[in-house]
Structure 1
């Protein structure tokens, strides 16, 4: 063997071990692709729960929001009016005369002014006193009430054509509110001659007027 060949064999023997060591190092540092999935350590037991922290302080108040817009205007409501009637209160008057002794046969005997409060009410009138009629033959006299100078028409006149101890009494409707002149008159009867009439002889005569609801 020539000296050149012997040197080449020596170099190959020295280089082979170094190549093997480098290959082993590259294997050690190569990353396993499944290492991240499996992990390198076993997970231990969970630790004890921690204590709650102290409450925090209130934050800074916020700024006021933008004012809202007006809503849609609603529909106009219906106007409902309630009618309250005033409670009825008594309204009456009495006029009296002592020993009237009025001997006329035709005309007004006495009157009494009354204030009527309502139009839709009735007036109750009463004359209490002595009524006398004297005549030689058949005769008649008529005593009656008037209201502001006219006889009652609703429903009918209030009258008496004979001697009555209980007097003249009745209800009259249709009289307007305000001052009412209530009067007692004496007059003749139709188809009968006039007699000698006398009213309130030697006794008390009175007219009572009372306003009553219908």
Structure 2
């Protein structure tokens, strides 16, 4: 009896086993299709974003790169202009005038007048001018010379500054009556004078190889000496 029951159970097991296996296979296939559908057509809403993370620690320096290829020389530029800059103090005018009313100097030899000037630069030149009435008279040929001195000496840079009046012998009767006074000038530039106080004087003297006559300076009129310092 027991063997018969066991045989029936085995028969039933063998009959139902294929159906059970088939159902499990179908179940696995359905779950796989559902998963593929969910991955492909995801319709779920996204959640709230999380808190932003902190910055990481700075990284270390990388390995230095290799040197680049040297560049080529550029085109040659145009030749520039040569400019020399000079940084000097601006030139300021420096001049002086000394004037006299009616000197009426009748001397034939000696100093007539003087004017002291302050020279500011050692490399400048002095322009001097005397303007006044001059006269010379004599019965025989004579000559007088009016000239400048600088600190007691005539100019040597380059030559003396002078003017002369010469009167020919002519007729003794005629020359004895000539007495003409004319406004004349003695003017020139003198270089090589040091800076500082300079005593500038106007003198009258004789000409070389000629006798002196009767000279007169500054008769009945204004005489003046003008001094100006000029850049070289």
TM-score of the alignment, normalized to the shorter chain, above 0.5: yes
1:118 corresponds in structure 2 to 121
Give 1:41's match in structure 2, choosing from 24, 37, 44: 37
CA contact (8 A) 2:134 2:184 kept: no
TM-score by length of 1: 0.68
How far residue 213 of structure 1 moved from its aligned partner, in angstroms, is 3.0
Q: Does 1:179 align with 2:162?
A: no
Q: Does 1:17 align with 2:17?
A: no
How far residue 25 of structure 1 moved from its aligned partner, in angstroms, is 2.7
Structure 1 CA distance, aligned partners of 2:29 and 2:45?
35
Equivalences for residues 38-187 of structure 1 within 5 A: 39=35, 41=37, 43-44=40-41, 83-162=86-165, 165-187=183-205
Query: Compared with structure 1, are the counterparts of its residues 116 and 37 closer, same or farther at alpha carbon in structure 2 (3 Å cutoff)?
Result: farther
Query: Compared with structure 1, are the counterparts of its residues 38 and 171 closer, same or farther at alpha carbon in structure 2 (3 Å cutoff)?
Result: same
User: 1:140 aligns to what SS in structure 2?
Assistant: strand
Q: Over aligned residue pairs, what C-alpha RMSD do you find?
A: 3.8
Structure 1 CA distance, aligned partners of 2:5 and 2:33?
48
Structure 2 CA distance, aligned partners of 1:112 and 1:8?
169
1:77 corresponds in structure 2 to none
How far residue 9 of structure 1 moved from its aligned partner, in angstroms, is 4.9
Equivalences for residues 192-211 of structure 1 within 5 A: 192-211=210-229
Deviations 1:123-142 (A, max 9, x none): 22111112222323212111
Q: Which runs of 5+ in 1 are unaligned?
A: 1-5, 61-81
Structure 2 CA distance, aligned partners of 1:7 and 1:124?
163
2:208 corresponds in structure 1 to 190
How far residue 23 of structure 1 moved from its aligned partner, in angstroms, is 4.8
Deviations 1:96-136 (A, max 9, x none): 12221222222221110011222333222111112222323
Report the count of equivalent residues.
185
How far residue 8 of structure 1 moved from its aligned partner, in angstroms, is 4.1
Query: Compared with structure 1, are the counterparts of its residues 13 and 47 closer, same or farther at alpha carbon in structure 2 (3 Å cutoff)?
Result: closer
How far residue 193 of structure 1 moved from its aligned partner, in angstroms, is 1.5
1:3 corresponds in structure 2 to none
Query: Compared with structure 1, are the counterparts of its residues 20 and 47 closer, same or farther at alpha carbon in structure 2 (3 Å cutoff)?
Result: closer
- 6-15 vs 199-208, which moves further: 6-15
